[in-house]
Amino acid sequence: MTTLRPFTCDDLFKFNNVNFDPLTETYGLSFYTQYLAKWPEYFQLAESPSGQIMGYIMGKVEGHLDNWHGHVTALTVSPDYRRLGLAALLMNFLEDISEKKRAYFVDLFVRKSNQVAINMYKNLGYIIYRTILEYYSGDQDEDAYDMRKALSRDVNKKSVIPYTQPITMRELRHQTNH
Amino acid sequence: MAHQGMDTALFERRLRPIYDNLEVGNNRKALQESEKLLRKHPSMLCARALKGLALLRLGRYEESHGCLQAVAEDKPTDDSTLQVLSFCYREMEQLNKIVELYQHAVKKNPGNEELLAHLFISYVRVEDYKAQQAVALQLYKAQPKNAYYFWSVISVVFQGIRGPESAVPEKRKIYLGLAQRMVEKHIREGKLESEQEAFLYLHILKLQKKFQEAWEFLTGELCAKLYPGAPVSMKFELLKVLGNWRELNELLQQLLDADRDRWDYYKEYIQSCFEILKLPITEGATEEKKFSLSACQEFLQGIIDSSERKKRGPYLARLELHQRMRAHQLPADQLIGDFDELVVEYFSLFADKSCCTHDIALFLPSVSMKQRQALANKLLLESGVSSTSLPMNKEQMQKHICALQISRMCGAHIDLPIDHLLAFYTALKLHYEHGRSTFGNKLLSTEMGPSDPYALLAANVMYDISLRENKSDYLFEALCLLQYVLRNSTSNFHVKLLSLKIYHMFGCLLGAQEMYEYLDIKQIQLDSMGYVHCQLLPLCGRFSGARNSYDTTMKFFTNSYKERLEYIALTYRFCTFSKMEEFLNFKERLTNSLQYVTCSLEAQICDLVSCYANVHQNLSTYTVMSIEPAEDRIAWHELSDNRDLDAIIRWDPLHQVDADAERKDSFDQEIEVLQLRSLMLRLYATFIDLYHPPPITKPSLSDGSKEETPAPAVESATSTLELLRDSWTGLYQRLRLMNYKPLPQQFLVNLLPTRLHLLLELPYERFFDDLAQLVLDLHSGAASLAAHCKKVGDNVIAVMELCVRTIEESNEWNNKDGLWKRRYQQQKVAASLEMLSLYAFLLSVLNDKLQVSSKTKVKKKQGDNKTQDTPQPVSEKERSQMVQELMRQLKHKLEACDAAIRTWKAPVLPRDLSSFMADMSLKPEVEATLIGDVSATFKDSHELMVTELRNLLKDKIRMVAK
């Protein structure tokens, strides 16, 4: 049971019950404000009937030509509101917006070790498109999966033909710049 | 331009080393490089600007100021110089200077798009909407881009709703009408392009309450094309204000058919049903009244019946309908069924999810206390776990947890006798342990234990008992339990938050600090969650320990303060009209955060209390603070409460919790505390300034950049002192009359008392009031000086005695309960030392000054004295002796404090906990380490505090020793 609404600056003061979760990163303000200013419709929040923040999704749309796509930057659901299909609801929302923006596909990066999340994305129709080496830095660097789902504009599903070779961060940056 | 003939590439190469050094923070080297370059090319503007920046970074404000001023006067037009200058002015918060800079540049290059865009953003920074509008139009003329056109539109809108004229309804109307016509002209010309432009048009119409026009546009072809992602909530809002309830009702039925778990849709849907009831009766009307609500019930039932997977939505909606019907005295039971049965049904379907408690709690306030408690019992029964049985599986356990949480919310536990509560606590503890060992193994480190909520509830129950008995034993046991839970489920932040709270209650700063670090609070959380730790640190017993925590918080605030305007500039750059007002308000909230202001103030006080170097170094520390006591820099009416009080979970009896009142009362008190602290600091600063006038060199950092005249420093310092002293006693008088009640401490998650009552109870008022008189008399050499020395001396004795007595009491309390009053005792000791430390620094300054002047006999000073009408001022030598006498006395009293602190015993912890641990079926080695760790935390915390306070005293004794 959810109210879906755009994430606002004021929510930054109230999202602690979600962000205290160890897998949810609290970023610097400029990160949030950049997303809010540039892709306001891609930053949505799910609110409970009692007004609590249950979770939110943060994303963007970018790329050229047939690489024009929606991207999920962060998706998080408070521990109290798990197993209610909330993540799917938020993902649907982002896919829907991306459809309306005529994007070819939606993609996201996920830790290779985060099996729970990978399975969930698979259930939502995402495939492992490629591996990005050492995407997550930390005590121990970790690889990421780049997962993708084609949207209706990609009639021939060209965007979801998997790469067999893993790519490095450098190659990734190079690609995004083009 | 001097260098226009020069090759730009060559030019950049020469500047590169300066930029590079600035980038890595090597400002000294950057300065050298710029000077080197300027020797060859003395007129190179960018190099001069960079030199100004390097000087600024080195803290050489005066030189920097001169340097930048000279560059600005040359009216540069090249981008790099302008960028450097505006960067400097932004650092110094001289935003108007940036405007001037680009005004000149634009004048020299009319129609230059880039410069105009910079000029526009510089007006955005100072929120000059009128100027924004003019520049945006120039931009549009220079380069007919839609973005510029709409920059001017939004600037007109802001003149109508935010600018200085927005309070005048006619003006508002004119501006909004103009904005509307501007957009409509664009639409007629077929130039509307983006969704944000469409949004803005809708917004303008709505601001003028032209809802019908907004509706037509929203549902029209153009909007569908430009703004396909327009949120459907826009439609509801318009249909609601248009009173189009039937259409709204139909729209929502369609939406709900497709999306059956949307609370926002259900809520509007149910409201529309009630509104249709109210509509005037037209033909075929008699049917309609009944029709509407039963249709609603049927619709909801239809969704329930046809859904394969059970979703909470329609069930909750049915409860909402029930609740609303009862509120309207309509026969809810008849139409929908018995309320209790509906709740029980909901419970049986969804109580295996942890959100079920929040859901049911929504509907409890609408029924009587008696019904609530009966309902709670039904739910416990429904959970299938009795006092003699254990949950069979994880789902049943969650149901049991939910039923227990709701029981507490219904007030079922609160009036139980203590032995019942203890038995309940034991049961909770056992349930926790059973659930952990049965369903909680193979937990990921990122997961919370499924039975953790039992332990959280147990901690709350133990607080209730502690409070009734006025004893810490039970709560201490709860703390051990929580620490045990934390070992099993390392990511449970609820456990950390409650532990943090208990550690603070018991004055155990080390434990609190550990929990705070464990929570990994950062960035904006430092603001919204600062109340759980930072806000509790002032006067808690440690000074330098607290100072480190302020530092982290301050770093976040200073940083975001610097960036705050760039966020807003960003919304213009991306033409995100839907977010501009939001960003402007956010900026206000952030910069006026009570947490921010409090933290910076307490950090300053802390620095003055703990300064330890020689008097000249201490004075320069003081000068850098630039307190400027004559100026009250706090925007008292704008202060913003950014605390996220809901982050701490609670299941306290709903009828006894008033979260809004708690928020308001605590916020009001925190503001009063801030008043006291701010005034104390400013008053104290006037004492110092009287003897050590602040240098007039540093240019004002505020944007007003008012001319700072080398005022007759002494007279103005004296009058400021007198003024602030009156405010000080006036404030105390007012606060005593206000008769604030200490914040209620009924439940574990209530906020701890503010420092207000502490500050009123301790002798702060008299201490600083008498000090003010002493400082004045010493300055003038008034005949009453000796008497005032005596007064101040007596105050010092009183404060010392307060400190010593508190420690004795604390040691005595150790025989019955070492923890219950600990925090309060530590606060009193810390406050005593704060007063004495500030006094010590002041005496060292007075002594320094009087020694110098009695030796050199400054002529000016004597002249000053003559203008006063005192017949025979006390000679400077005598004054100096008096100060030295005061120093001797203070040294003596500080030593007495130190002696007392040396005898201060670590808190004796409650009775042995073997029975508690036995229940937990722990391995002996775990048991030993757990209790050992918690006890060690208390012991270490005490020792750290004692060491720190003794070091502080040692420094102060040294300060007044000569």
Which residue of B523, B528, B557 is the best one to mutate when testing the A interface, meaning the one whose CB has the most A CBs within 10 A?
Answer: B523
pLDDT of B857 > 90? The answer is no
Q: How confident is the model at residue B8 (pLDDT cuts 50, 70, 90)?
A: confident
Query: Is B560's Cβ below 8 Å from some Cβ in A?
Result: yes
Q: In angstroms, rounded to a whole number, what is the distance separating the alpha carbons of residues B238 and B251?
A: 12
- B543 and B582 both lie in a single domain: yes
- Report, as an integer, the average pLDDT of B918-922: 61
* Minimum distance, in Å, between the CA of residue B400 and any CA atom of chain A: 16
Q: To which H or E segment does residue A43 belong?
A: strand A43-47
* Minimum distance, in Å, between the CA of residue A170 and any CA atom of chain B: 24
Residue B287, in any domain of the structure:
yes
Size of interface A-B (CB pairs under 8 A): 136
Question: Angle at which helices B876-902 and B822-856 pack, to 10 degrees?
Answer: 160
Q: In angstroms, rounded to a whole number, what is the distance separating the alpha carbons of residues B104 and B118?
A: 12
pLDDT of B277 > 60? The answer is yes
- B703 and B798 both lie in a single domain: no
pLDDT tens digits, one per residue of B316-331: 999 999 999 999 999 9
- B837 and B891 both lie in a single domain: yes
Residue B192, in any domain of the structure:
yes
Residue B50, in any domain of the structure:
yes
- Nearest alpha-carbon partner for B154 in B529, B546, B589, B584: B584
| Single-letter amino acid, residue B898 | D
Residues 6+ apart with CB under 8 A from B137: B148, B152
Query: Is B517's Cβ below 8 Å from some Cβ in A?
Result: no
Query: Is B550's Cβ below 8 Å from some Cβ in A?
Result: no
Measure CA B389 to chain center.
46
Query: Is B935's Cβ below 8 Å from some Cβ in A?
Result: no
* Minimum distance, in Å, between the CA of residue B279 and any CA atom of chain A: 28
Least CB-CB distance to B642: which of A13, A21, A34? A13
Q: Do A29 and B567 touch (CB under 8 A)?
A: yes
The pLDDT score that the predictor gives to residue B702 is: 45
Q: Do A50 and B361 touch (CB under 8 A)?
A: yes
Task: Work out whether strand A142-150 and strand A127-136 pair parallel, antiparallel, or are unpaired.
Answer: antiparallel
Residues 6+ apart with CB under 8 A from B157: B175, B176, B179, B200, B203, B204, B207
Query: Is B574's Cβ below 8 Å from some Cβ in A?
Result: yes
Least CB-CB distance to B446: which of A17, A23, A37? A23
Least CB-CB distance to B579: which of A12, A37, A100? A37
* Minimum distance, in Å, between the CA of residue B671 and any CA atom of chain A: 20
- Name the residue of chain B whose CA is nearest to A52's CA: B646
The pLDDT score that the predictor gives to residue B654 is: 95
Looking at beta carbons, which residues of chain A come within 8 Å of B647?
A: 16-17, 20
Tokens of B685: 């600063």
- B901 and B800 both lie in a single domain: yes
Residue B442, in any domain of the structure:
no
Least CB-CB distance to A13: which of B195, B264, B528? B528
Q: Do A84 and B574 touch (CB under 8 A)?
A: no
Tell which wins on pLDDT, B838 or B707: B838
Q: In angstroms, rounded to a whole number, what is the distance separating the alpha carbons of residues A93 and A95?
A: 5
The pLDDT score that the predictor gives to residue B862 is: 44
Q: In angstroms, rounded to a whole number, what is the distance separating the alpha carbons of residues B11 and B383?
A: 79
Token match 């935003």: residue? B95
B777, B807 contact by CB (below 8 A): no
Q: Do A1 and B527 touch (CB under 8 A)?
A: no
* Minimum distance, in Å, between the CA of residue B526 and any CA atom of chain A: 10
The pLDDT score that the predictor gives to residue B544 is: 87
pLDDT of B653 > 70? The answer is yes
- B261 and B286 both lie in a single domain: yes
CATH code where residue B95 lies:
1.25.40.1040
The pLDDT score that the predictor gives to residue B710 is: 46
B519, B500 contact by CB (below 8 A): yes
- B717 and B826 both lie in a single domain: no
pLDDT of B664 > 70? The answer is yes
Tell which wins on pLDDT, B411 or B864: B411
Of B223, B240, B259, which residue constitutes the final position of a domain? B223
Q: Do B355 and A13 touch (CB under 8 A)?
A: no
DSSP string, B695-712: PS-SPP-STT--------
pLDDT tens digits, one per residue of B874-914: 888 899 999 999 999 999 999 999 999 999 999 998 866 65
B910, B819 contact by CB (below 8 A): yes
Which residue of A3, A8, A19 is the best one to mutate when testing the B interface, meaning the one whose CB has the most B CBs within 10 A?
Answer: A19
* Minimum distance, in Å, between the CA of residue B420 and any CA atom of chain A: 30
- B778 and B895 both lie in a single domain: yes
- Sign of the CA dihedral B405, B410, B414, B420? negative
pLDDT of B363 > 70? The answer is yes
CATH code where residue A51 lies:
3.40.630.30
Least CB-CB distance to B525: which of A16, A50, A100? A16
- Report, as an integer, the average pLDDT of B122-126: 95
Q: Do B567 and A20 touch (CB under 8 A)?
A: no
Q: In angstroms, rounded to a whole number, what is the distance separating the alpha carbons of residues B10 and A148?
A: 47
B462, B445 contact by CB (below 8 A): no
Number of domains comprising chain A = 1
pLDDT of B707 > 70? The answer is no
Residue B113, in any domain of the structure:
yes
Tell which wins on pLDDT, B415 or A35: A35
The pLDDT score that the predictor gives to residue B773 is: 96
Q: Phi and psi of B463, rounded to 5°?
A: -65, -45
Which residue of B311, B355, B517 is the best one to mutate when testing the A interface, meaning the one whose CB has the most A CBs within 10 A?
Answer: B355
pLDDT of B31 > 50? The answer is yes
B785, B877 contact by CB (below 8 A): no
The pLDDT score that the predictor gives to residue B281 is: 65
Looking at beta carbons, which residues of chain A come within 8 Å of B233?
A: 5
Q: Sheet holding A43-47: strands in order across?
A: A3-6, A43-47, A53-62, A69-77, A105-111, A142-150, A127-136
pLDDT tens digits, one per residue of B130-157: 999 999 999 999 999 999 999 999 999 9
Least CB-CB distance to A9: which of B231, B316, B586? B586
Measure CA B321 to chain center.
38
Q: How confident is the model at residue B292 (pLDDT cuts 50, 70, 90)?
A: confident
Residue B191, in any domain of the structure:
yes
- B117 and B239 both lie in a single domain: no
* Minimum distance, in Å, between the CA of residue A165 and any CA atom of chain B: 31
Q: Do B261 and A85 touch (CB under 8 A)?
A: yes
Q: Do A36 and B583 touch (CB under 8 A)?
A: yes
Q: How confident is the model at residue B286 (pLDDT cuts 50, 70, 90)?
A: low
- Report, as an integer, the average pLDDT of A33-62: 96
Looking at beta carbons, which residues of chain B come within 8 Å of A28?
A: 523
* Average pLDDT of chain B, as a whole number: 91
- Report, as an integer, the average pLDDT of A37-46: 96
Of B197, B223, B249, which residue constitutes the final position of a domain? B223
Query: Is B348's Cβ below 8 Å from some Cβ in A?
Result: no
pLDDT of B793 > 80? The answer is yes
Residue B399, in any domain of the structure:
no
- Sign of the CA dihedral B186, B189, B195, B198? positive
Looking at beta carbons, which residues of chain A come within 8 Å of B445?
A: 22
- Report, as an integer, the average pLDDT of A160-172: 87
Token match 């147990």: residue? B458
Query: Is B446's Cβ below 8 Å from some Cβ in A?
Result: yes
Of B708, B742, B776, which residue constitutes the final position of a domain? B742
Number of domains comprising chain B = 4
Query: Is B46's Cβ below 8 Å from some Cβ in A?
Result: no
- B174 and B236 both lie in a single domain: no
The pLDDT score that the predictor gives to residue B700 is: 43
* Minimum distance, in Å, between the CA of residue A125 and any CA atom of chain B: 20
Structural domain including A73 reads 3-176
Structural domain including B780 reads 762-922+958-962
- For B211, other C-beta atoms within 10 Å of its C-beta total 19
Q: How far is CA A102 from CA A105, A155, B484, B839, in A?
A: 9, 12, 53, 70
- B284 and B139 both lie in a single domain: no
Q: In angstroms, rounded to a whole number, what is the distance separating the alpha carbons of residues B614 and B394?
A: 65
Query: Is B261's Cβ below 8 Å from some Cβ in A?
Result: yes
pLDDT tens digits, one per residue of B473-505: 999 999 999 999 999 999 999 999 999 999 999
Using a pLDDT cut of 90, give the percent of chain B over it: 80
Q: Do A3 and B263 touch (CB under 8 A)?
A: yes
Looking at beta carbons, which residues of chain A come within 8 Å of B312?
A: 1, 84
Tokens of B307: 């859904």
Q: In angstroms, rounded to a whole number, what is the distance separating the alpha carbons of residues B457 and B220?
A: 55
Q: How far is CA B676 from CA B8, B433, B669, B939, in A?
A: 58, 48, 11, 33
Query: Is B522's Cβ below 8 Å from some Cβ in A?
Result: yes
pTM of the model: 0.92
pLDDT tens digits, one per residue of B39-88: 988 888 999 999 999 999 998 888 999 999 999 999 999 999 999 999 99
**How many residues belong to chain B?**
962
Residue B43, in any domain of the structure:
yes
- Report, as an integer, the average pLDDT of A95-116: 93
Q: Do B228 and A100 touch (CB under 8 A)?
A: yes
- B627 and B725 both lie in a single domain: yes
Least CB-CB distance to A12: which of B524, B573, B578? B524
- Name the residue of chain B whose CA is nearest to A41's CA: B229
Looking at beta carbons, which residues of chain A come within 8 Å of B659?
A: none
Looking at beta carbons, which residues of chain B come within 8 Å of A49?
A: 263, 316, 358-359, 362
Measure CA B265 to chain center.
33
pLDDT of B223 > 80? The answer is yes
* Minimum distance, in Å, between the CA of residue A36 and any CA atom of chain B: 8
pLDDT of B4 > 80? The answer is no
Q: Phi and psi of B165, rounded to 5°?
A: -90, 0
Which residue of A1, A54, A92 is the best one to mutate when testing the B interface, meaning the one whose CB has the most B CBs within 10 A?
Answer: A1
- B593 and B686 both lie in a single domain: yes
